[in-house]
Amino acid sequence: MQIIVDLMGGDNAPLAPLDGAAQAVKEYGVQIIGLGDEALIRKMAADNHISLDGIRLVHCSENIEMCDEPARAVRQKKDSTIVVGLNMLKEGKGDAFVSAGSTGALHVGTSLIVRTLRGIKRPALATLIPAQKKPYLLLDAGANVECRVDMLEAFAVMGSCYMQRVEGRKDPAVALVNNGAEESKGTPLLREAHQQLKTTPGIRFVGNIEPRDVPSGSADVVVCDGFTGNVVLKLTEGVAKMIMGMIKEMFLSGLTTKLAYLLLRGPIAGLKKQMDSEEYGGAPFLGARQPVIKAHGSSKAKGVKNAIRQAKICVENDLCGTMQAALDDVAAANAAAKAAGGAEE
């Protein structure tokens, strides 16, 4: 299996992506196609004693910066790591693409170059978030700010497929973010989406979920538009950072609390690991024809390595093919329901 990796994307590039790719070669047995400034990457590898065994470098003379306008950058920077990587994926020169670069450019490029599954206009950004019971998949996490009912339904279907195929959950619970659990709550769009999801084949819809209940992890898949999802994601990250900081301050406040920390060091380390987003890899663009994984911009080597692991699982379990089959079933059911409704009239 060959995973294409953008070695120039992210705050810690190229060292972190390169180190993560090298670790993935050793741990997962994948072959890496590394994209970027070849001379710089080779020097970085030599200076940091990172083996390039299993990594084939492809030189790219350009890089899309975070400040670049995504659509313009994708059109103009043809030799950038993101554009080259997505074209290689489209042409079958690799099995999946991983990048910690510009989310906007990756989203636009995925839509225009790799293209989307039948029934999907633009991919959804999905991210696995730590929770009290178990991590949950949030989508859309920011790619599609405004959504129609059919888009929310597609998110539910694709999210359910992902949790089954990648996370191994047999019957994932799907919930719709709303300001109340009752069916009557929310905007007209959310009320209509609720009714639609109740009849969507192939998913276990458990109803609305209020934002305060999302962190419990009672739902496996949490569905919302990209604006709401991005607010949920960033608020969750902020609250988690605040709480971990408060815990640290508490244990450093005096001799007694420092001694208490020594007794609780193991459980605290476990909690810290549970809350570490790098443990979960990256955010897949669900709805793309081939696996595209967006690693966090601040990813270190571990985060990139786990994003590559995630891409490998997507390929091994034919995630994209499974999602297409599920979406086709939903489209057929909706067409049949519409035809039946027309016949009754």
d(C-alpha 8, C-alpha 290), whole Å: 21
- What DSSP character marks residue 123? P
Q: CB neighbours of 229 closer than 8 A, spacing ≥ 6?
A: 125, 138, 139, 140, 141, 142, 177
What pTM, to 2 d.p., does this model score?
0.89
> In this predicted structure, what is the pLDDT of residue 124?
95
Options 3.20.20.80, 1.25.40.10, 3.40.718.10, 3.40.50.2300; CATH for 1-123+287-317 is 3.40.718.10
- pLDDT for residue 345 is more than 80: no
Residue 274 banded pLDDT, cuts 50, 70, 90: low
* Residues 191-241 pLDDT 10s: 999 999 999 999 999 999 999 999 888 999 999 999 999 999 888 888 888
> In this predicted structure, what is the pLDDT of residue 273?
65
CA 343 to chain centre: 42
Residue 149 banded pLDDT, cuts 50, 70, 90: very high
* Residues 229-243 pLDDT 10s: 999 988 888 888 888
What is the DSSP code string of 70-86? HHHHHHH-TTBHHHHHH
- pLDDT for residue 304 is more than 60: yes
Residue type, position 92, single letter: G
> In this predicted structure, what is the pLDDT of residue 271?
65
> In this predicted structure, what is the pLDDT of residue 164?
95
- pLDDT for residue 71 is more than 90: yes
> In this predicted structure, what is the pLDDT of residue 246?
84
Residue 265 banded pLDDT, cuts 50, 70, 90: confident
Sort strands 2-6 and 96-99 into parallel, antiparallel or unpaired: parallel
Q: Look up the CATH number of domain 124-279.
A: 3.40.718.10
d(C-alpha 139, C-alpha 224), whole Å: 6
Contact 307, 295 (CB under 8 A): yes
- pLDDT for residue 123 is more than 60: yes
CA atoms within 13 A on the CB side of 120: 32
For the chain, give every residue range classified as CATH 3.40.718.10: 1-123+287-317, 124-279
Name the 3-class secondary structure at 272.
helix
What is the DSSP code string of 35-64? EE-HHHHHHHHHHTT---TTEEEEE-SB--
Sort strands 283-286 and 292-294 into parallel, antiparallel or unpaired: antiparallel
> In this predicted structure, what is the pLDDT of residue 46?
96
- pLDDT for residue 268 is more than 90: no
Residue 278 banded pLDDT, cuts 50, 70, 90: low
Name the 3-class secondary structure at 110.
helix
CA atoms within 13 A on the CB side of 312: 18
